[in-house]
Chain A
């Protein structure tokens, strides 16, 4: 008893570790706390003592005092039951263990003596107690006779199965068990005790009986669950290994629609797996069936709302592969053999169990073909060591979790990619919009340009020129040979031709009126020239000038600003009369002087102002040079002149575009000129320039010829 009470406990105390005999070796609970040597000795002693039990006693449990209670006849069953109620659970365990010994010893011995059986074991009271309790709870309306009948049936059933398990094959035993069920059902149909029971109650009763009988038998090793003489255990191991090997099989291979990334889905999968794992823990066939049923319900929910049998089976196969339930084959065989066949063939539990059988059978016979895979690929997968997934179902679960994690991350990556794609699309759209906008703008601009094609110059100039001509024609005759016309021609294409006309007009007239008007016109023209880079194409006479200018530029470049050239020239012009004959010979020196003279600009102006006496001399070069000088001017005054010119242009253009009448254009021109003059007056050089120009023009008549020559500055200087 002591051992018996100890045996069931899984806890190991320090005292348990050492051999109970007191030798220094460690004891082992399997050897009842003895070391192996002491245990063997003990065994031998006990064996000698217990000669009654014939077979070898491989386990210590068998030494326990015999609890054998003779099976009572059914008439006295209730009495026995009373007795058994007092028996403790440890007693039951002891009996159970003993029974196992008995069974093993007598396995396959067909000549087994029937006398021995009754004393060998007894049905633990717990079963009867449990049945009683449950019956009271579940079948409150049934008379006590039913309860008793059920218990009697269970008792005789268990006894019969145990007896027959030794002498019958599993299939025979299964058949016999089924016959017992049928008998009981028939009995229920015919017995007056069950007269008032509905068919559903009867079904519940048969379940009740089956449950209690099989729960007890299930725990007896080798009787009904993976019975001795069958290969169930080996098949269990083989199946487990096979499932491990197939751990790579995913939902894709099975073509079942599972969304692993969905957390609800994975929860259902976990639930289904845990239910499948619990199948092994459930004792009776009914319990196992209900586990299977629950598992399959989860699997069905896993498949989604529109699930059918077409979806259930692959998903169930997948779940089984991921769960790798322990002792799968044994459990299935147990249910198949010893569950009430009627129920197995109908009802939800039966249906799902059938599906499970199909799933297991599929896994057993799984080939590359059944996965729609290439044979080589399949073989590669199968060649993978089975230990990759770990040796237990936990590994399969962890694999599942890892896969789910990966799937989640993949989904996240996919979402990111989608975002990127949308961003790119938006960017493209934006670019396209920008393009179209640009084109639109360009088109509009072109359109506007096309609608308002204004060639300003030709229109303007002819107007002016025509006006000029009118005034100048007579003047031209007066002085055709004058220098000025020559430079003008090349500079301006159309106007140039007229300019020469203009210039000569001015020179000969010498009348103030003419001059002023002419000057104004010339100013305008000059401005045009400046805009159009008049210097390069100038007449051969001017070319030397340009050369000189360029020379001076080069020399002057070290000194900054476009100022210098102008100043220098003006200075040259101004100063030439004073000195620097030698300087002129050496242009570099003259340049230097010019630089210095920058400060004297005002003084020059004053000089210029003073010079009205001799407007021709100082200004003449200016006037002459203005044309060429304007190049250097451009940076400074040219800008202002530009502006003026531009303004004028605008005005011109507008007016021109509106009306091509010459009279208006003239008026405008005059206005612009007026406006320009003040603008010019603002600048220091400009105010003088008109004056100078007047003078210069006048001067030109005298000296321009010389000025037009290459060394225009030199000539005045030489003077």
Chain B
């Protein structure tokens, strides 16, 4: 399914969550295509929200899923969370209501992802500082209390967007290195693609009979 000229060692799955209209799609677009498109943010283009980055010399393919933020879909969007290695939680610094909903988003994320999932809080639209409705300090405190990484970013200018994605990837990679993240778990959200084949198995796995009977 994934085609591209790049070889990569890992695939990290991210999800972007947050209220409707906080700029989730714009952030994704800014990151994957490095530009802000006010009018035509193809959330899921042909490339489908992927970008290959490099962390500690390892090529990592980020697979980012945008999600629907409407309140009415909250109950049914749990399947998005499945197997996410990173969750970018986005609010709009110009709309306090989007900030107030963060705790419920956080609860969802904690409940629906595995403990090693990295959650990154992003205060979007930092370019609209004049209309700010949520102070940096307040959000920073919230992030610290909940053990989240936090940054204010602007999908429009691109400020801090790259950093948010990269920091998340670094943290995930660190978790892998620390062994906190089990690569073999289906829900880890990380796929490891060894660049070179390891030692060959004695027999093809199909030859073995796992039947219980």
| Chain A residues engaging chain B, CB cutoff 8 angstroms | 74, 110, 112, 114, 149, 152-153, 155-157, 160, 163-164, 167-168, 176, 178-180, 183-184, 186-192, 194-195, 198-200, 203, 207, 255, 300, 305-310, 312-314, 341-343, 345-349, 351-352, 354, 357-359, 361-362, 365, 369-372
Q: Report B-chain residues with C-beta under 8 Å of the C-beta of A371.
A: 72
Interface pair A345/B210, CB less than 8 Å apart: no
Closest Cβ–Cβ distance, residue B63 to chain A (whole Å): 5
Closest Cβ–Cβ distance, residue B9 to chain A (whole Å): 9
Interface pair B206/A153, CB less than 8 Å apart: yes
Complex CA–CA separation, A178 to B83 (angstroms) = 15
Complex CA–CA separation, A164 to B213 (angstroms) = 8
Q: Report B-chain residues with C-beta under 8 Å of the C-beta of A359.
A: 76
Interface pair B41/A308, CB less than 8 Å apart: yes
Please report which residues of chain B, range 80-105, place their CB below 8 angstroms from some CB of chain A when the two chains form the complex: 80, 82-83
Given A178-B186, A309-B25, the answer on whether A191 and B2 have CB atoms closer than 8 Å is no
Q: Report B-chain residues with C-beta under 8 Å of the C-beta of A306.
A: 39-41
Closest Cβ–Cβ distance, residue A383 to chain B (whole Å): 22
Interface pair B191/A189, CB less than 8 Å apart: no
Listed by A's residue number, 28 A-B pairs whose Cβ atoms lie within 8 Å are: A114-B213, A152-B207, A153-B206, A156-B207, A164-B211, A180-B206, A186-B201, A189-B198, A190-B200, A192-B197, A192-B200, A200-B2, A203-B1, A255-B70, A305-B40, A308-B24, A309-B43, A309-B67, A310-B24, A312-B44, A342-B191, A347-B48, A348-B48, A351-B44, A358-B68, A362-B72, A365-B75, A371-B72
- Which B residue sits closest to A160, measured CB to CB? B211
Given A200-B2, A346-B11, the answer on whether A167 and B212 have CB atoms closer than 8 Å is yes
Interface pair A184/B197, CB less than 8 Å apart: no
- Which A residue sits closest to B70, measured CB to CB? A310
Interface pair A190/B201, CB less than 8 Å apart: yes
Given A190-B197, A192-B200, the answer on whether A358 and B206 have CB atoms closer than 8 Å is no
Q: Report B-chain residues with C-beta under 8 Å of the C-beta of A186.
A: 201, 205
Interface pair A191/B201, CB less than 8 Å apart: yes
Most buried by B among A157, A207, A307: A307
Complex CA–CA separation, A308 to B186 (angstroms) = 27
Complex CA–CA separation, A559 to B3 (angstroms) = 115
Complex CA–CA separation, A241 to B204 (angstroms) = 46
B130 within 8 Å of A by Cβ? Answer: no
B18-50: contact bitstring with A at CB < 8 Å (1 yes, 0 no)?
001100110000000000000111111000110
Interface pair B205/A348, CB less than 8 Å apart: no
Closest Cβ–Cβ distance, residue B110 to chain A (whole Å): 19
Closest Cβ–Cβ distance, residue B2 to chain A (whole Å): 6
- Return the contact of B204 from the options A114, A149, A179, A305 (Cβ within 8 A): A149
Q: Report B-chain residues with C-beta under 8 Å of the C-beta of A191.
A: 197, 200-201, 204
Interface pair A183/B65, CB less than 8 Å apart: no
B179-213: contact bitstring with A at CB < 8 Å (1 yes, 0 no)?
00000001001010111011111001111111111
Interface pair A313/B206, CB less than 8 Å apart: no
Interface pair B194/A189, CB less than 8 Å apart: yes
- Which A residue sits closest to B16, measured CB to CB? A309
Q: In terms of DSSP, what is the predominant structure of the interface of chain B? A: loop
- Return the contact of A194 from the options B197, B210, B211 (Cβ within 8 A): B197
B79 within 8 Å of A by Cβ? Answer: yes
Given A74-B207, A307-B43, A351-B44, the answer on whether A372 and B72 have CB atoms closer than 8 Å is yes
Interface pair B13/A346, CB less than 8 Å apart: yes
Closest Cβ–Cβ distance, residue B43 to chain A (whole Å): 4
Q: Report A-chain residues with C-beta under 8 Å of the C-beta of B208.
A: 183
Q: Report B-chain residues with C-beta under 8 Å of the C-beta of A200.
A: 2-4
Complex CA–CA separation, A354 to B79 (angstroms) = 6
Complex CA–CA separation, A314 to B82 (angstroms) = 21
Complex CA–CA separation, A211 to B20 (angstroms) = 38
Given A160-B209, A308-B66, A309-B68, the answer on whether A358 and B79 have CB atoms closer than 8 Å is yes
Q: Report A-chain residues with C-beta under 8 Å of the C-beta of B82.
A: 345, 354
B77 within 8 Å of A by Cβ? Answer: yes
Interface pair B77/A358, CB less than 8 Å apart: yes
Q: Report B-chain residues with C-beta under 8 Å of the C-beta of A342.
A: 186, 191
Closest Cβ–Cβ distance, residue B105 to chain A (whole Å): 14
Complex CA–CA separation, A300 to B42 (angstroms) = 9
- Return the contact of A351 from the options B20, B65, B193, B212 (Cβ within 8 A): B65
Interface pair B213/A167, CB less than 8 Å apart: yes
- Which B residue sits closest to A340, measured CB to CB? B1
Interface pair B43/A354, CB less than 8 Å apart: no
Interface pair B68/A313, CB less than 8 Å apart: yes
- Which B residue sits closest to A202, measured CB to CB? B193
Closest Cβ–Cβ distance, residue A6 to chain B (whole Å): 36
Closest Cβ–Cβ distance, residue B200 to chain A (whole Å): 4
| Minimum-distance CB pairs A-B, first 9 | A183-B205, A308-B25, A156-B206, A309-B66, A345-B83, A313-B68, A348-B48, A305-B40, A361-B76
Most buried by B among A168, A187, A346: A346
Q: Report B-chain residues with C-beta under 8 Å of the C-beta of A112.
A: 213
Given A156-B207, A160-B210, A178-B186, the answer on whether A190 and B73 have CB atoms closer than 8 Å is no
Q: Report A-chain residues with C-beta under 8 Å of the C-beta of B68.
A: 309-310, 312-314, 358
Q: Report A-chain residues with C-beta under 8 Å of the C-beta of B186.
A: 178, 341-342, 345
Most buried by B among A203, A255, A358, A371: A358
Closest Cβ–Cβ distance, residue A207 to chain B (whole Å): 7
Closest Cβ–Cβ distance, residue B112 to chain A (whole Å): 13
Complex CA–CA separation, A194 to B212 (angstroms) = 30
- Which A residue sits closest to B77, measured CB to CB? A358
- Which B residue sits closest to A346, measured CB to CB? B63
B146 within 8 Å of A by Cβ? Answer: no
Interface pair A362/B41, CB less than 8 Å apart: no
Q: Report B-chain residues with C-beta under 8 Å of the C-beta of A362.
A: 72-73, 75-76
Given A163-B211, A207-B1, A370-B72, the answer on whether A348 and B206 have CB atoms closer than 8 Å is no
Beyond the given A112-B213, A195-B197, A345-B82, please list 5 additional residue pairs across the A-B interface where CB-CB is below 8 A: A160-B211, A163-B211, A186-B201, A309-B68, A346-B1
Q: Report B-chain residues with C-beta under 8 Å of the C-beta of A341.
A: 186
Complex CA–CA separation, A243 to B58 (angstroms) = 48
Complex CA–CA separation, A581 to B82 (angstroms) = 135
Complex CA–CA separation, A183 to B203 (angstroms) = 11
